[in-house]
Amino acid sequence: MNLRRVLVSITAFFVGLIIASCSTTPTGRSQLTLFPEAEVESMGVQAFSKIKAETPLSRDPDAIRIVRCVSFAVVDQLPAEYRVGGPWEVLVFDDTAVNAFALPGRKIGVYEGLFRAARNQDQLAAVIGHEVAHVIAHHANERVSTAYAAQTGVNLAQVMAGGSSTATGQLMGLLGVGATYGVILPFNRKQESEADIIGMEFMARAGFDPQQTIPLWENMGRANSNAPPEFLSTHPSGDTRIAKLSEHLPVAMPMYEAARGRGLTPDCGF
């Protein structure tokens, strides 16, 4: 084989790899996902262990009960592949941050400070739905893949091996929990808007009122008027977000009404 033929073969291989690695999100957007899902899940599990080791758990039994009740109701509506392999691990952390996250590998974390913005079970479900939607839409895989493809200097080999603390910090950032750890690699705007839309549908299917997404984001803005929290700093501006959520209500409301009709009327005592 001459050099030219070798180069053509190599190029064809990489083009094939990229094409084979394009998947479609639940909203129909195409995305680059280079990593096997099992690998992304083990990254999520690893990140969650680290957060658990560094953040004290809540000792507020009401907060824990409410967060678990709402989270399990939302998770029950996920596609079957996200409900196998055991229940989701749902923890509340003793931290004033107005923040929450979900990770691949069936993990949900809520900071006590979130209750300053989420004032009832429907508003809490709006946040849980949004965070879980990032997982279902493979946003972490897309983020890692995009970083990899762009050669940003993130040492992914080290990250995947769970090596140095720098690599671990990068891993946190890639998974979307980075802001808490001082490494800001936020989900992009497209991913955020997508998580809003998908999340609204999950909460509605669980029998939570999707109209409550609007006051939730208004509360978020107010709760954080002084110091912009991690959650808001990496998310779209309030007005754009509320306009897009309102636009999607005519789709989500019938899902909510159908769920209520089927007897899905969650009562988490909040």
CA 226 centroid distance within chain: 25
For Zn ion, the closer of residues 201 and 259 by Cβ is 201
Q: What is the DSSP letter of 97?
A: -
For Zn ion, the closer of residues 195 and 245 by Cβ is 195
CA 79 centroid distance within chain: 15
For Zn ion, the closer of residues 140 and 195 by Cβ is 195
131 is known as an active-site residue? yes
Name 183's Cβ contacts closer than 8 Å, sequence gap at least 6. 169, 170, 172, 173
Task: Provide the minimum distance between the beta carbon of 241 and Zn ion in the complex, in angstroms, as a whole number.
Answer: 10
Which structure tokens are listed for 230?
A: 């991690």
Across 26-48, b (16+ Cβ under 10 Å) vs e yields eeeeebbbbbeeeebbebbbbbb
Task: Provide the minimum distance between the beta carbon of 230 and Zn ion in the complex, in angstroms, as a whole number.
Answer: 11
For Zn ion, the closer of residues 47 and 195 by Cβ is 195
Tell me how many degrees the CA angle 84-90-92 measures, rounded to the nearest 5. Answer: 175
Amino acid identity, residue 18?
A: I
Task: Provide the minimum distance between the beta carbon of 134 and Zn ion in the complex, in angstroms, as a whole number.
Answer: 6
Nearest to 96 by CA among 74, 75, 111: 111
Task: Provide the minimum distance between the beta carbon of 262 and Zn ion in the complex, in angstroms, as a whole number.
Answer: 28
Task: Provide the minimum distance between the beta carbon of 140 and Zn ion in the complex, in angstroms, as a whole number.
Answer: 11
Residues at the interface with Zn ion (CB under 5 A): 192, 195
For Zn ion, the closer of residues 192 and 201 by Cβ is 192
Nearest to 231 by CA among 91, 241, 31: 241
Q: Which of 112, 131, 142, 194 is catalytic?
A: 131
Could you tell me where the DSSP H helices lie in 55-178? 61-75, 121-136, 139-150, 156-161, 165-175
User: What residues are labeled active site?
Assistant: 131
